[in-house]
Structure 1
Amino acid sequence: MMKDLRKARERFGFTLIELLVVISIIALLIGILLPALGAARQTAQKAVCLANLRSSGQGLAIYGSSNRDWTPGPNTSGFHLNDGSFDDGEDNGSTAPIQNFDWISPTMGESIGLSDDAATRMEDIFTNSFRCPANDSTYDSQYGSGITPPNGVTDLLINSYSAINQFMLIKSNAGDNKVYTAWWVEDVVEIPDNFDSRQDLVGNASSKVWTLDGARYLDNNKGTVTFNAHPRQYSGGNYGTWGPALGNVVRTGNPYKLTTEQDKQNAERLSYRHNGSLNASFFDGHAESMDQTEAQRVEHYFPSGSVVRDAAALNDDSVENGMRIN
């Protein structure tokens, strides 16, 4: 009898119950392994992102050593674009800025292999490996006219990293076609009178953020991101941001706002990409990951000696009116 059963099994294979048991075991193993694989993937993405940001800090240091410690941006490397037009200087090699806030070309154009041609370089910036691997979002539309990639913008991945506007701008309006800190920003935090777009004036370099996860222009209600093509920008364009400390008062293009559920979804996709944290590089060259509380500390985004004027407008609960920023 047993011999007959063995012959029957050899002839017909596994029984239905046995197959169900095997399938259940496989499903259980997948359920156990998938979270671990997902966590490993997130860890790897975070590490690559931090390495990129460290590179941006190295690029800043090299730029400063060759340019008397100035910081790239609208009042230095991109100054010639502040009249809103092009002078063909954008084709003068891989390090020539394409917009006045373009810090990527001046600091990293050679090291990441950007094109000498301006339009191709624009495409390179938004397609090459200098990006956060957790960022897979593309631009939804274009606003304004200017140098744009040969094939348009809707197939481009959004810029992964933004520099902090406050360190690229100057405080008071002295003319000469310069770009200035927005009045509403200075209503919240007043920047020292002697501050200029220089690395040696930021103060405590180990606590001042140079670049970080986050992209503009975001429509906070819809979650769509617009590529801004104008050569002259006032609030960062595709390259700069006011930062998370001002996350609830920035009126346009804000990837750090956390008020509504839509805001939180936007932030998870565009800035707080690493399991609720974001990565940043600092003026002293190091890079680190910050949770939301740390990322919202105002000291990271204003020069030392700045004074808090409207603490209620900030996301940093540790500050109060009249406090000087270290």
Structure 2
Amino acid sequence: MTTTCRLTAARMVAPGKGILAADESIGTMSARLQAVGVEPSAENRRKYRELLASAPGLAEDVSGIIFCDETLRQNFSDGTPFAQAVTALGILPGIKVDTGAKPCPGLPGETVTEGLDGLPARLAEYAELGAAFAKWRAVFRISSDTPSRGAIRVNASALARYAAACQEAGLVPIVEPEVLMDGDHNHGVCRELTSQVQTAVRSELAALNVDLSGIVLKPNMVLEGAEHGRRSTPAEVAELTVGVLRAWPGDLAGVAFLSGGQPPERATANLEAMQSHSTPWPLTFSFGRALVSPALEAWRGEAAREADAQAVLLERVAANGAAARLRGEAQPVTV
């Protein structure tokens, strides 16, 4: 299965293409629908995900879409299962397989992402349903005493166990260690803790013989906290972020950044600035809110506004695809 994973991972980070994260949990997606006046029903969640996936020409800038369990089991309005429908559109279907961050025993106030129980059987089922890749998210919150070494270690271990199980099942694992933007810390604190987290993740992946050329890393950008008084420039974000990433070996398939709650335009500007740095692996995007939130605002559950919502989505996707394609045109910068 190693060759399959390598080929799929390379396709996921193909030049100028990124990954669309449409994998919000039922609870999260329902809350977002309610916020724009849409009934939070399974059918409306289905309609919204189909609206995103079927946007004309989406495959020009998107290599894959991450879905949640509910969506992967649903069908397009014509009766075609989601996985088969997006595959026919030239897009790889993916699946979020973790069950969320839960309180971690022994570490008050910190979390560990769960979902390892029964994971091999679930991965086999998702592969049968047509999934080509999977995603697991670990979250780390910065405060005066967190994340602790224990929280970093337990979450890194879970990410590695998940990644190894995915590769055994023939699915590419997206490995997502996210240091959250919450807080008033400066970007130097974020850089240090992001480095600690990624070092632990690399160690655990190596311990379980995970093939880095068959994974996609989905890290946070190195940013100041949302409540910090000074906003980092795109050039600063790029220099700090790529500086941390340089510890990863050259055989890593690629890096697809999460947006982490940044405003859409800022996430794109930061992604664009990354491209001026020479790295052995592609730097692209795996955005969720930064791509889908504007489309949801435009749609608001009205059939007559579907085309407008798709146009908004495609505009944001195209901007990020264009940013990723700057890589070949940019002058290398040494960090």
Answer yes or no: same fold by TM over 0.5: no
Q: If each structure's helix is expressed as a fraction of its own residues, which one has the higher value?
A: 2
Query: Over alpha carbons, which structure has the higher Rg?
Result: 1
TM-score, scaled to structure 1: 0.30
TM-score, scaled to structure 2: 0.29
